[in-house]
Amino acid sequence: MGIKLKVFDNEKKVNIIIVLLSLIAPISLYFTKPIIHELISISYIISVVSIKRRRRTGIHSFVYISIILIIFSLSAEKYPTTSLIRSIGLGLFISIYLGSLFEKIDRKRGEIDYYRKFERLITSFSTYFVNLLPEELDDGINYALKEIGEFVDVDRVYIFLLRNDNMIMDNTHEWCKEGIEPQKDMLQDLPSQTFPWWMSKLNNFEHINIKSVDNMPKGAATEKEILKEQDIQSVLVVPISCEGKLLGFFGLDSVTEERQWSEDIISLLKITGQIFGNAIDRSIKYIELAESRDTLKQITDNMTDMVCQVDTKLTYQYISPSFERILGYSSEELIGESIFKGIHPDDVDKIKKAAKEYPIEISEGMLQYRMQRKDGSYIWVESAGKLITDINSNKVIASEFNIRDITKRKVLEDRLKSRMKLEQLIIKMAANFINLSADEIDKGIINSLKKISEFANANHSFIMLISDDDNKMKMEYEWYLKDEYKGRIKKKSIKAQQIPLFIEKMKDKKILKINRDENLSFEEDLREILFLEDTKLLILLSMYSKEKLIGVLGFNIGKLSSCWSDEIIELFQVISDIFVNALERKRYEDVINNYIARLNKSYREIEIAQQKVVQNLEKAKKIHTHFLPDRFPVLKHIVFAADYTPAGNLGGDFYNIIHIDDKVLFYLVDITGHGLDGALLSIFVRETINSYLLSLNNIGEKLTSVKEIVQFIYEQYCHENFPEDYFICICLGLIDTNSMEIRLSNMGLHYPPLVVYNNGKLKRLPKIGLPISNALDREYYDFSNMKEEKIVLEIGDTMFLTTDGLIEEFVSGEIYGEERIKDLLINNYKMPPELIISQVKYDFLKFTGKNQGKDDVTILVIQRKKHPLNSFHNIINNDMDEIYEIRPKIEEFLKFYCNNIEELWIGLMEILINAIEHGNRMRKDKRVEINIDVYEEFIQISVEDEGAGFNWKDIVFTMPPIEFTFSERGRGIMIARKAYDYIWYNNKGNKAFLFKRY
């Protein structure tokens, strides 16, 4: 806001002078000398211009007359025109300069006058607010805001005060010009942090002078938005503070126009802010003082402390009225009396000791002692004093004491100490019982009764238990303070039917407190059991286990004390629960020990039975493994490979290859289940097929088809009447070794055989029949119309058969799947059958993380041989020296096909050593057979010993790349793996195959 000046001057006087000059000037032109003419002309022009600048229309007529007279004098040509023109020009110049100077002087006079008036107004506020009462402050502030607003001619004047550690601001006072909308009600409870730029200025006690809200800095975006919402164009804000503390701010708003305030006015408004701050702070302190006075009066009126003065002889000189209210003694009864009057005899020495070097020691610290009331009772008090000295001599002339009644506090302290002591006792008891064995619990209960009784000043404590049949209550555990008490209670048990009332009371889970002289509210028969002669109080606590009353914990109290408060007795219920838990644990441990004894006996029996089962399973496994072929027929044009991995110790899968004349019968069986039952059924299938072949041989017929075998198996299965939940899935094939034609019959094998031709193309043979089972009606099996799948194997063609355990293996939501098998066959069909199986098993290991699956996995591979480019065959004796003797022959054979003969020999030598040392176990009657076949793309070497074989799969498929952490045989296999691309063994584990691409 700017200042609108009210210019003050003596215009009337000036105008009169100018008029006179206007009249005199023309006349003087005629009579005076030329130089005078010029001066008068200049004065005249100045007066005319001055009148023109003041725009006083009433003087214009005189100006016109003067101009006419000048023209008239010029026409007389009494003086030259050049003199007149010079006079007029000079006059105009001087008049313009003087006019501007007069205007500045007038404006400055107006500003000074305005500032003095505003200063007087602000000064009047200072006196005005000093004399205001706190309740008149709001009206006084509103009056001051109105006066300032009208004087400065603004649209709105207001005050904001801060609270809650300057976190919240409220618009507490406001004045608005007529027609300006008030904002006060909408500006309450405003968070100060909403105005960061604004508050940063005020917190530094700086004023805020905004000529144009539109041009506020970027950092004041929030403040700008709020001011724009109120249509404010210009604003001036100064802090309200007192004693260096920001209390709020005082502001002026211009809504209708933009305004600018001078620094002088801002200085006065800052002083106004300080006046407001002092007045507000004074009001706050006045209110706080009033509240303090009210509080002090309330304290004084309700004061419970006693105040007294004693002289150097320790006699009362003054006592406060509270002495009579607390002790019952009036001031007349105690003044002049010794302070030891009424002190408990046991505490007198303590007071005298403190007063021995009077008055220094007695005036320092806090003393606790007992004082006697007028009615003879005692209260506990706590006192502290200070010295009173003579002003002139500085000698001690008396002491003043403040004495406080702490009786209730002492009682609470005693109870608290007792409770804490009891709680510690309970914690130790609970921990002790936890560590006790069942045999130690009885002794632990007696020791605990002793400790509790000593705490409670009990002469006798006991536990009475109710029998399991609820017919009798018997004293099971007791402790006596003195041995002489033991003979006083002769009766140790009582029948439940004699005390029904008592048992009902204890079933209510109540803690009973019975005085000796009290009329017993239960059966008199209990008196002989429960009460000693000098018992003053009997405490009985019910003992519950699983909502059933099992007994009572009791104490005969000979000396009453504060430890038997209700809250302490409730803690004794915890002790009762500890005893219950200990007794229950003892009972449970007895039951458990008996049960464990019986259980151990049963375990031993089960263990013996289990050992027999394991032995039987091992026998069955050996039988099952024994029936699997350990070697396959050696044919000129066909080679076989197979692998069987059961899901458990025993499986239900089975395979076999039988050479009959010019035919080869092969079959793959998958029985539901992979335990003993599956293994037995697979043996049933084997024996059934063997029986059929034997019958053909007996009658001199040749095997030409497989569907008759399938029908025979079905008939025998039905004849044996196996349960309906068993299924036999079997795929049989008959190979004609002359034509290489294969006849296939698939009965329920989930995944029919796959054939990979020598050109890399793959074919999935169709699934033909249903599995063999009693669950299906005979009409579903039409063997007369059963079709056989026929396929001819060409050189390099490979047939792959497997059970569903491989393809249906499921890991982390992913199935192994048939597609993986197809990819492996397409990528490895040129390899030998053993290596194809090895690749499949290794891929299965990577997929599952282990060799064994959830179901039995059986693989059978049939391949029509490729003709090797060259072959090497030799048999050596089981002698290490013969290894080195045969080396030159092998190197001579291999030198035409590979360059790294040394590396190949090292790997082969390790396998030969394993065969002699571990396979044939260094027996001289054993031999080792070596075969080397060279094909277009690879070399295949086989080493076969005559030993029992070993479980090679775990070593080959799980061996780490470098560490030699295995047996000697494992180390040899490891070295061989470094030299060859692949290494594997036959199913028995006595024939090693080495594969190397070249």
**Secondary structure, 3-state, 448-467:** HHHHHHHHHCEEEEEEEEEC
Find the angle CA(501)-CA(503)-CA(505) to the nearest 5 degrees. Answer: 70
What is the residue range of 564's domain?
413-586
The mean predicted confidence, pLDDT, of the chain is: 81
In a domain, 395, yes or no: yes
In a domain, 398, yes or no: yes
Which one-letter DSSP state was computed for residue 785? G
Q: Look at residue 210 in the predicted model and tell me its pLDDT.
A: 93
Which one-letter DSSP state was computed for residue 543? E
Q: Look at residue 634 in the predicted model and tell me its pLDDT.
A: 87
- The answer on 809 and 721 residing in a single domain is yes
Locate the DSSP E strands across 661-707.
Answer: 663-671
Q: How many CA atoms lie within 13 A of 901 on its CB side?
A: 13
Model confidence at 624: pLDDT above 70? yes
Model confidence at 913: pLDDT above 50? yes
Of 21 and 863, the one with more pLDDT: 863
Torsion sign across C-alpha atoms 668, 672, 676, 682: negative
In a domain, 848, yes or no: yes
Amino acid, single-letter form, for residue 75: S
Q: Look at residue 912 in the predicted model and tell me its pLDDT.
A: 94
Percent of residues, the chain, with pLDDT higher than 90: 34
Report the distance separating Cα 436 and Cα 118, nearest Å.
95
CB 545 within 8 A of CB 516: no
- The answer on 332 and 264 residing in a single domain is no
CB 4 within 8 A of CB 153: yes
Residue 491 corresponds to which tokens in the numbers above?
């009766």
Report the distance separating Cα 671 and Cα 713, nearest Å.
13
Of 398 and 952, the one with more pLDDT: 398
138-147, 669-678, 715-724, 915-924: least confidently modelled range: 669-678
Q: Look at residue 777 in the predicted model and tell me its pLDDT.
A: 84
Report the distance separating Cα 471 and Cα 498, nearest Å.
10
3 state DSSP class of 410: helix
- CATH code (residue 653): 3.60.40.10
Q: Look at residue 523 in the predicted model and tell me its pLDDT.
A: 58
Residue pointed to by tokens 């706190």? 134
Percent of residues, the chain, with pLDDT higher than 70: 80
Average of pLDDT values for 366-392? 87
Give the tens place of pLDDT for each residue, 876-903.
999 999 999 999 999 999 988 888 899 9
**Alpha-carbon distance values, 778 to 688, 719, 750, 856 (Å):** 19, 12, 21, 29
In a domain, 595, yes or no: no
Q: Which residues pair with 514 in a beta bridge?
A: 538
Average of pLDDT values for 717-733? 88
Q: Which of 356-370, 533-547, 658-672, 713-727 has the highest mean predicted lDDT (pLDDT)?
A: 658-672
3 state DSSP class of 907: helix
- The answer on 768 and 674 residing in a single domain is yes
Average of pLDDT values for 773-794? 86
Report the distance separating Cα 376 and Cα 539, nearest Å.
31
DSSP-assigned states of every residue in 12-70: HHHHHHHHHHHHHHHHHHHHS-HHHHHHHHHHHHHHHHHHHHHT-GGGHHHHHHHHHHH
Average of pLDDT values for 224-251? 92
3 state DSSP class of 373: coil
Q: Which of 48-62, 360-374, 556-570 has the highest mean predicted lDDT (pLDDT)?
A: 360-374
- The answer on 730 and 625 residing in a single domain is yes
3 state DSSP class of 610: helix
Closest CA to 367 of 388, 377, 352, 387: 352
Of 729 and 506, the one with more pLDDT: 729
Tell me phi and psi for residue 817, to 5 degrees: 85, 155
Residue pointed to by tokens 């003065």? 309
Closest CA to 30 of 64, 87, 75, 97: 75
Residue pointed to by tokens 């106004």? 272
Report the distance separating Cα 43 and Cα 58, nearest Å.
20
Report the distance separating Cα 371 and Cα 359, nearest Å.
21
Residue pointed to by tokens 């320790």? 314
Report the distance separating Cα 56 and Cα 16, nearest Å.
12
Report the distance separating Cα 391 and Cα 405, nearest Å.
32
Q: Which residues pair with 462 in a beta bridge?
A: 478, 554
Q: Look at residue 759 in the predicted model and tell me its pLDDT.
A: 93
Give the tens place of pLDDT for each residue, 135-145.
888 999 999 99
Report the distance separating Cα 343 and Cα 363, nearest Å.
18
Q: Look at residue 106 in the predicted model and tell me its pLDDT.
A: 67
CB 794 within 8 A of CB 862: no
Residue pointed to by tokens 């105040």? 307
Tally of domains within the chain: 6
- The answer on 424 and 488 residing in a single domain is yes
- The answer on 427 and 350 residing in a single domain is no
Q: Look at residue 375 in the predicted model and tell me its pLDDT.
A: 92
3 state DSSP class of 912: helix
Report the distance separating Cα 703 and Cα 658, nearest Å.
12
Locate the DSSP E strands across 449-588.
Answer: 458-466, 472-480, 493-495, 511-515, 537-545, 548-557
Number of C-beta neighbours around residue 60 at 10 A: 12
Average of pLDDT values for 61-67? 48
- CATH code (residue 954): 3.30.565.10
Among 845, 864, 883, residue at a domain's last position: 864
Residue 338 corresponds to which tokens in the numbers above?
């010794």
Model confidence at 45: pLDDT above 70? no
**Alpha-carbon distance values, 552 to 358, 507, 535 (Å):** 59, 10, 18
Q: Look at residue 783 in the predicted model and tell me its pLDDT.
A: 81
Report the distance separating Cα 638 and Cα 661, nearest Å.
15
Report the distance separating Cα 168 and Cα 190, nearest Å.
6
40-44, 202-206, 534-538, 910-914: least confidently modelled range: 40-44
Residue 42 corresponds to which tokens in the numbers above?
């200049």
Q: Look at residue 963 in the predicted model and tell me its pLDDT.
A: 36
Report the distance separating Cα 682 and Cα 668, nearest Å.
10
- CATH code (residue 333): 3.30.450.20
Residue 73 corresponds to which tokens in the numbers above?
């004098």
Report the distance separating Cα 614 and Cα 549, nearest Å.
51
Give the tens place of pLDDT for each residue, 548-589.
898 999 888 876 654 566 767 777 888 888 899 888 888 888
Number of C-beta neighbours around residue 925 at 10 A: 8
Of 30 and 435, the one with more pLDDT: 435
- The answer on 568 and 434 residing in a single domain is yes
Report the distance separating Cα 60 and Cα 47, nearest Å.
11
In a domain, 609, yes or no: no
**Alpha-carbon distance values, 425 to 57, 414, 418, 441, 511 (Å):** 115, 16, 10, 17, 20
Question: Which bin fits 557, alpha (ψ -120 to 50), beta or left (φ > 0)?
Answer: beta
In a domain, 123, yes or no: no
DSSP-assigned states of every residue in 635-672: -SSEEEEEEEE-SSSS-SEEEEEEEETTEEEEEEEEES
Locate the DSSP E strands across 534-662.
Answer: 537-545, 548-557, 638-645, 653-660
**Rg, Å, the chain Cα set:** 62
- The answer on 181 and 287 residing in a single domain is yes
Report the distance separating Cα 563 and Cα 416, nearest Å.
9
Q: Look at residue 975 in the predicted model and tell me its pLDDT.
A: 85
Among 586, 610, 635, residue at a domain's last position: 586
In a domain, 126, yes or no: no
Q: Look at residue 76 in the predicted model and tell me its pLDDT.
A: 44
**Alpha-carbon distance values, 518 to 461, 506, 521, 534 (Å):** 20, 18, 9, 14
Give the tens place of pLDDT for each residue, 737-776.
999 999 999 998 889 999 999 999 999 998 778 899 888 8
Torsion, Cα of 476, 482, 488, 492 (10° steps): 0
Among 539, 569, 586, residue at a domain's last position: 586
Average of pLDDT values for 285-297? 65
Closest CA to 565 of 513, 516, 530, 518: 513
Torsion sign across C-alpha atoms 92, 98, 101, 103: negative
CB 272 within 8 A of CB 238: yes
- The answer on 632 and 501 residing in a single domain is no
- The answer on 816 and 729 residing in a single domain is yes
- The answer on 576 and 526 residing in a single domain is yes
CB 539 within 8 A of CB 585: no
Of 858 and 127, the one with more pLDDT: 858
CB 777 within 8 A of CB 801: no
**Alpha-carbon distance values, 112 to 120, 121, 421 (Å):** 12, 14, 86
Residue 179 corresponds to which tokens in the numbers above?
């027609």
109-118, 154-163, 902-911: least confidently modelled range: 109-118
CA 189 vs. chain centroid, Å, equals 36
- The answer on 236 and 176 residing in a single domain is yes
Model confidence at 515: pLDDT above 60? yes
Report the distance separating Cα 380 and Cα 298, nearest Å.
25
Closest CA to 541 of 504, 517, 513, 582: 513
Model confidence at 361: pLDDT above 50? no
Average of pLDDT values for 115-138? 83
In a domain, 597, yes or no: no
In the sheet where 741-747 sits, what is the strand order?
A: 653-660, 663-671, 728-736, 741-747, 789-792
Confidence of residue 527 (pLDDT cuts 50, 70, 90): low
